[in-house]
Amino acid sequence: MYCVTEPHRDAGTHPWFERVLAPILHDLGATCAASFEIRDARWEGQSISAGISFVICHSLGAEKRVSVVASGKPWHDIADTADKVQDVATDALWFEGLSPVWPECPEHPGSHALLATVVSERPVWLCPANREVIAEIGTLSDPSPQVDSA
Ligand SMILES: [Zn+2]
């Protein structure tokens, strides 16, 4: 069972944040067995080089503050944020007694997680073993297809 609570959107939420976090929330919701809530998101600074800071909370109570600096390159920011969220997701899975691998490499099940990186100005999940691009970040799908697609 998984559940990703949409981040709280207040007047201070910056569009950059939504753009960067949306694909990662999608991948978490599609493929991560642990559940999270993201809250206390704060846009810090006013310039182009500003960043965002948010707290990602696991359902068992663990929480971690994640800060990301906006580089001006969205693909880089998405990969950077995915890498940080991956740490939290890995911890959460371990806490729940599940395999602490997220997102699991579909080509090598049971061995390793994918690596968040940038290839040709696209944020992608890469297999760290054969360096193959598995999917663009934000396009992972549930490995166990569900009938309920509404
Ligand atoms: Zn692999």
Both tokens assigned to 72: 């001006």
Residue 59 lies in a domain: yes
How many domains, in total, are found in the chain?
1
Strands (DSSP E) contained in the chain are 4-5, 36-44, 51-58, 63-69, 115-119, 122-126, 133-136
The CATH number linked to 27 is 3.30.160
Q: Is 60 exceeded by the pLDDT of residue 117?
A: yes
Residue 11 lies in a domain: yes
Tell me which of 50-59, 90-99, 129-138 is least confident.
50-59
Please list all protein residues whose beta carbon sits less than 5 angstroms from ligand 1, which is an ion: 105, 107-108, 127, 129
Report phi then psi at 17, rounded to 5.
Answer: -60, -45
The rounded Å distance from CA 106 to ligand 1 centre is 7
Residue 98 lies in a domain: yes
pTM above 0.85, yes or no: no
How far, in Å, are 26, 49, 75, 87 from residue 6 at the CA level? 10, 25, 21, 19
Domain hosting residue 69, numbered range: 4-102
60-92 pLDDT tens trace:
777 888 888 888 888 999 999 999 999 999 988
The rounded Å distance from CA 143 to ligand 1 centre is 15
The rounded Å distance from CA 128 to ligand 1 centre is 6
